[in-house]
Amino acid sequence: MAPKKIPTPQGLSKAVKLPELWRKSSEKSLGSLLKRLRKEVTKSRANLAEDDGLDWLKPRALLKPDDQEEVADADLEEEVGRVLTTINPQWVADEVAYHYGQGRFVVKPRPSYGKAYPLFVFQGTAIRKDSDEAKAQIAAGYGMVSFDDAGPKKAKVKKSAAEEEEEEEPEPEPAATGEEAKPEEDAVAEEEKPVAETEEPAPTEAGAEQVEGEEGEVAEEAEPEEKQEGDAGEEVIEIKPRVKKLANQFNFCERAALTYVFPRRSVDTQTIPPPRANYGSTALQSVIFDFYQEDYARKMKEKEDEKPKRMRKKTTKHAKSAQQIHDEQLAQRIREAWAILERLVNQNIYDDIAQDYRYWDDPSDEFREGMGSLLPLWKFQFEPMRSHAVCDLQWNPHYQDLFAVAYGSLDFTNQQKEGCLCLYSIKNPAYPEYAVITESPIICLDVYKETPYLICVGRYDGNVCVYNAQLTLEGSYQYKSDSVRDKHSNIVWEVRWGARMIDGEASFFSISGDGRVVQWAVMPGELQATTIITLTSNVPPIPGPDGTLVTVNSCGSCICFHPEKSEIFMVGTEEGMIHTCSLKYNRNYVSSVQGHHMPVYRINYNYFNNSIYASCAGDWRVKIWEDGRDEPLFMFELGSPVGDVKWAPYSSTVFAACTADGKVYVYDLNVNKYRPICVQAVVSKKTKKLTRIDFNARLPVIVCGDTKGTCHVLKLSPNLRVMCKPPKKAQGVDQRTLQIMKLDKLLSLVRDPPFTPGVVDEKFEDD
């Protein structure tokens, strides 16, 4: 006997073909199943859909994988029965194995279920209704209730399935007993089996013969199983009837819903723990004592230091470094030494002039009754300022030999880029004592009488500054107006120191071409601006480019404070108006006079009579006014624009004027009411003009500046400074009273006839 029977070619082919068949049948059965399912679904949900139109419940198109086999619709429609057999295609029919006991090969006992081994056998409790057993039970009074009665409300599908079961169950018993063994194997097969059985008789061309073959085999193989079945059946019989009704145990419906399981997530934050540090120490009496001693010593030292601290603070502020101080001091000492040396040299050079200016008087005056002359003494020039004009000059009120000069430019078409503030001393005509170059031309200056080293200047760019002549030159200005916030928008024409403010701060006033008079309070570290008055003009508002009306301010050109009433000041404008204003009114003028027809260059109060003032203008005229009169008391035409007019500090009736044609005019109204007592050409009228003039308060000299940066110091001849001789009746009367009396006497002559046109018409012929 062959040890192992090789499977027949037929069996092999079967085994190969089978999967195909299965697949096909399963595909077809799947199709039919789907169809049926769909039918059922539509059936069961039809009423729902009808009621609410729930479209979403309707089945949708099936999603097909791309590689799905293409099957014709006809084939899909075709109903193919699913064939399941118990035949194991792997099973070998006549397998032998060596039996050690018998010592030979024996045919292996055929396994009852092919290669399947039952692991668990569960005996069903159901019995057939029409079996003997059931009949016996029914006869015994069980199962009186029929299926229909038991579940009248069951779904149709189920019912039909149950009916099918009922119908089909009896049939297979004689034909295919092999299949009967299946329920024991698998519970799922139970459901499919009836379908398969019903399908089986249907003639399927594809697997008809195979099915037949299989069946043949099945028939063969089923025989031993039948025996077992029979055994099982006997066992079942012994089961006692347990329930009255014959309920269908599969006839139930389970419903469940599975909801989403929300994923869980844990979130936590960890903060940085507060910082920690370690510290360790030892507390001992000795340590404590020592520390107390140390602290005490420190405190004592602090106490000692407290007093000099204040002083030290001050010193530390200035002292940048000891070396610097030393250097500065050294430089200062050298500078002083050089200055002395320079003066020595100058004194030698200008020895005769130095003698003359004090002691020499022009002897010719004695023979020229009522006429005087000017003796030129020195010329002051500062080399870098050769092309600049002397825009303002003023003797220092404290030092009789010192005068301040503002270098700027009056040539507005060719304006200089920088200016200069110089202090000259007549002791050194060669070089200024103090000179500081400014970034903008200086137009005007005023020396503070209380602290004569403070000089305020008005600049061409509209700024005002305060210079401290005591500071080193590097210090430049001490105060400066804020160029952005509050500077003038036009040339500052004149600055004048005013009275101290209520809280003690010095203040000065500036007048500018922008029509504003601004008071500047010299605060520590800054200048605080207050607009006192904005000069209005009679010009109607001019329509601007975008239709807005632009009001035109009149341009201020000079300012003059009343010597006694500190709130009253006079303002000259470029239209020739002379306005009397008060600090208390910032809108209206106290009075206003059409003084000139050209810009007013200077208004100057008489030193002896506070109601008399002189004015000069570009209209060639010098006028003497009295407060409250609209017409001048005197008027003089000088034949050229008059740059400056100043009253003499020593005489109530003497004043000097300088003109653009380079001449200085000195008038003494007491001597001659119509003509000057001295006319002297100081500079060549072709190249230079005289701009400003000033009397020295104590010395009989005047200084005048020209447009080429030169300052001329001239000595007044005796005839120009005649003092009043006290009358014999009142010998003890002082000079000042006499001067006032002299002026009053003169004025009374002019006043009585209100106005003498002859004075006006008197033209100076000397030109």
Partner 1 sequence: MAEEGAGGAGGEKVIHTYPLIRHSDMSEEMRIEAMELSVTACEKYSQNNELAARMVKESMDKKFGPAFHVVVGESYGFEITYECTTICYMYFGGNQAICIWKCS
Which residues here bind partner 1, judged by CB under 8 A? 274-285, 288-289, 291-292, 295-296, 299-300
CB of 308 to partner 1, least distance (A): 20
DSSP class per residue in 199-217: HTTS--STTHHHHHHHHHH
Q: Which is nearer to partner 1, 289 or 585 (CB)?
A: 289
CB of 272 to partner 1, least distance (A): 12
CB of 269 to partner 1, least distance (A): 19
Q: Which is nearer to partner 1, 276 or 728 (CB)?
A: 276
Q: Which is nearer to partner 1, 38 or 299 (CB)?
A: 299
CB of 261 to partner 1, least distance (A): 42
What is the distance in angstroms between the CA of the first residue and the CA of the last residue of the chain? Answer: 172
Q: Which is nearer to partner 1, 305 or 336 (CB)?
A: 305
CB of 310 to partner 1, least distance (A): 21
CB of 277 to partner 1, least distance (A): 5
DSSP β-bridge partners for residue 686 = none
CB of 477 to partner 1, least distance (A): 43
- Which residue stretches of 319-395 are H helix? 322-349, 351-359
Indicate the SS3 state at residue 435: strand
Tokens found for residue 261: 């399981």
Q: Which is nearer to partner 1, 296 or 338 (CB)?
A: 296
Residue 621, CB-side half-sphere exposure with 13 Å CA sphere: 21
Q: Which is nearer to partner 1, 23 or 309 (CB)?
A: 309
Separation between Cα atoms, residue 584 and residue 532, nearest integer Å: 9
CB of 291 to partner 1, least distance (A): 6
Q: Which is nearer to partner 1, 274 or 544 (CB)?
A: 274
Q: Which is nearer to partner 1, 157 or 297 (CB)?
A: 297
CB of 284 to partner 1, least distance (A): 5
Q: Is 750 left (phi over 0), alpha (psi -120 to 50) or beta?
A: alpha
Q: Which is nearer to partner 1, 259 or 285 (CB)?
A: 285
CA nearest to 394, candidates 479, 473, 467 = 467
Angle between helices 351-359 and 322-349 (to 10 degrees): 80
* Residue 80, Cβ density class (10 Å: 0-12 exposed, 13-18 middle, ≥19 buried): buried
Q: Which is nearer to partner 1, 61 or 284 (CB)?
A: 284
Residues whose CB is less than 8 angstroms from the CB of residue 576 and which lie 6 or more positions away in sequence, other chains included: 594, 595, 596, 597, 598, 599, 600, 617, 619
Q: Determine phi and psi for 593, rounding to 5 degrees.
A: -130, 140
* Residue 441, Cβ density class (10 Å: 0-12 exposed, 13-18 middle, ≥19 buried): buried
Separation between Cα atoms, residue 217 and residue 225, nearest integer Å: 13
DSSP β-bridge partners for residue 559 = 571
CB of 299 to partner 1, least distance (A): 6
Q: Which is nearer to partner 1, 296 or 585 (CB)?
A: 296
Q: Determine phi and psi for 599, rounding to 5 degrees.
A: -55, 135
CB of 293 to partner 1, least distance (A): 8
Q: Which is nearer to partner 1, 17 or 299 (CB)?
A: 299
CB of 305 to partner 1, least distance (A): 15
Separation between Cα atoms, residue 707 and residue 694, nearest integer Å: 16
Q: Assess contact for 638 and 659: CB atoms under 8 A.
A: yes
DSSP class per residue in 527-540: EEEEEEEE-B-SSP
CA nearest to 421, candidates 446, 387, 450 = 446
Return the H-helix or E-strand segment holding 29.
Answer: helix 9-52
CA nearest to 213, candidates 508, 367, 11 = 11
CB of 282 to partner 1, least distance (A): 4
Tokens found for residue 454: 């403070």
CA nearest to 687, candidates 712, 663, 664, 661 = 661
Q: Which is nearer to partner 1, 281 or 731 (CB)?
A: 281
Distances (CA, A) of 25 to 76, 188, 198, 203, 428: 11, 18, 14, 13, 136
CB of 271 to partner 1, least distance (A): 14
Q: Which is nearer to partner 1, 301 or 333 (CB)?
A: 301
Q: Which is nearer to partner 1, 23 or 298 (CB)?
A: 298
Q: Assess contact for 528 and 518: CB atoms under 8 A.
A: no
Separation between Cα atoms, residue 388 and residue 422, nearest integer Å: 12
Count CB-CB contacts under 10 A for residue 704.
28
Q: Which is nearer to partner 1, 117 or 279 (CB)?
A: 279
CB of 287 to partner 1, least distance (A): 8
Q: Which long-range contacts (CB under 8 A, 24 or more apart) does 29-36 make?
A: 29/80, 29/81, 29/82, 29/195, 29/199, 31/71, 31/76, 31/77, 31/78, 31/80, 32/79, 32/80, 35/77
CB of 286 to partner 1, least distance (A): 9
Q: Kindly tell me the sign of the dihedral angle through the C-alpha atoms of 585, 587, 593, 599.
A: positive
CB of 268 to partner 1, least distance (A): 21
Q: Which is nearer to partner 1, 64 or 307 (CB)?
A: 307
